[in-house]
Amino acid sequence: MKGIYLYCGLSRQAHHKAIHRQLNQLEKESLYVRMMEQTREIHPGMGLRTMYDMLDPEGIGRDAFIALGLKEGFRLKTVEKFTRTTYSIRSNRYRNLLVGKWFTGVNQLWSSDITYFYCLGRFYYLVMIMDVYSRRILGYSLSDNMRAENNSKALIMALQLRGENHYHNRLIHHSDKGSQYVSDIYTEMLYDYGIQISMCDEVYENTHIERLNDTIKNQYLNRMNFTSEQDLKRKVGRVIEIYNTQRPHQSLMGLTPVDYEAYLETIPATRRLKMEIYTVNKIEKQDFNQIKISFN
């Protein structure tokens, strides 16, 4: 061994220190992998970067953590199917009220949409209502149909959570032009609580709720197993609780929606970030159509 050490230009002490460092590194990697496994049990579709931000593990950088996760098989697989959930109506009754608007707090803009997923031999439809400023899911309803009463259940849950106050036109409810959102039972409830009704003209004018749909469906529900409809409903409720209370958001200073709302209570509205929602005005639409024509 002395000859080998001499040939390699190493001392016995340096050799043993290197071995110790390697064993130490293997122990740390094993710990990081266990942390990844435990996190994926709760968040089955969480990406490695979000996982790193949430766990904030000591002794490893973000890129090294992601590389380790990819090596250990934690790469996410895309799961997506398509079915139609929006049956739009031709109506100019409700316009997009978000044009030129800025938001600085909760209960100023709620957004709603319907997403779907396939399990237990059929499609299920999940209606969610979120507070766009805090990303918090306020109400939801799960059903095997797309009747307007399911949207009403989600709205009632949101109103109960926030307090059934009269909002005096200070709150906007934003959605697509789906028939459920223009039903008499739904619009009358919004009017009764003084909530303004806004509808997008293009799908990308409701991006926050679309992103939420993708997260809940493809990062959680489509990666879970369900034994019965009762089990499904229980797990949907648990997923929404996890999203609100455990999942950090980079856009919310790394906080969860619930924690971010608590943080907002400590600062005045004048010091909060102003949020503007992307909208397509008439001029942009004309330009967009000209672009499409030029490409054609």
Integer Rg of the chain from CA = 25
* DSSP 8-state secondary structure symbol assigned to residue 93: S
Three-class secondary structure of residue 18 per DSSP: helix
Same domain, 106 and 188: yes
Confidence at residue 31, expressed as pLDDT on a 0 to 100 scale? 75
Same domain assignment for residues 122 and 255: yes
In-domain check, residue 194: yes
pLDDT at 35: 76
Residue 175 lies in a domain: yes
Residues 109, 239 within the same domain? yes
Same domain, residue pair 65 and 115: no
Strand partners, 159: none
Shared-domain flag, residues 48 and 151: no
- Give residue 43's pLDDT: 78
Question: Among residues 224, 208, 85, 195, which one has the least CA distance to residue 137?
Answer: 208
Residues 119 and 256 grouped into a single domain? yes
Tell me whether residue 224 is in a domain: yes
Q: Is the residue at 85 inside a domain?
A: no
| Same domain flag for 222 and 167 | yes
Give the domain range for residue 184.
102-276
Q: What integer pLDDT is reported at residue 30 of this predicted model?
A: 72
CATH number at residue 222: 3.30.420.10
Phi-psi region of 91 (alpha: psi -120 to 50; beta: other; left: phi over 0): beta
CA separation for the pair 86, 84 (Å, rounded): 6
Q: Which residues contact 45 (CB under 8 A, 6 or more apart)?
A: 76, 215, 218, 219, 220, 222, 223
Whether residue 268 is found in the same domain as residue 201:
yes
d(CA 25, CA 19): 10
In a domain, 62, yes or no: yes
Pair (125, 231) in one structural domain: yes
Query: Are both 19 and 136 inside the same structural domain?
Result: no
**Both tokens of residue 263?**
């943080």
Instruction: Examine residue 289 and state whether it is found in any structural domain, yes or no.
Output: no
> Does the global pTM surpass 0.75?
no
In tens digits, the chain (296 residues) has pLDDT values of: 666 556 556 665 655 565 556 556 666 777 777 777 777 777 777 788 887 887 788 778 888 888 888 887 777 766 555 555 554 455 557 999 999 899 999 999 999 999 988 899 989 999 999 999 999 999 999 999 888 999 999 999 999 999 878 999 999 999 998 889 999 999 999 999 999 999 988 767 888 998 999 899 988 998 899 999 999 999 999 999 999 999 999 899 999 999 999 999 999 989 999 999 878 764 454 444 443 443 43
Q: Is the same domain home to 143 and 7?
A: no
Please indicate, yes or no, if residue 55 is contained in any of the structural domains. yes
Q: How many domains does the chain have?
A: 2
Nearest to 114 by CA among 140, 136, 93, 89: 140
The reply to whether 36 and 125 lie within a common domain is no
Is residue 43 domain-resident?
yes
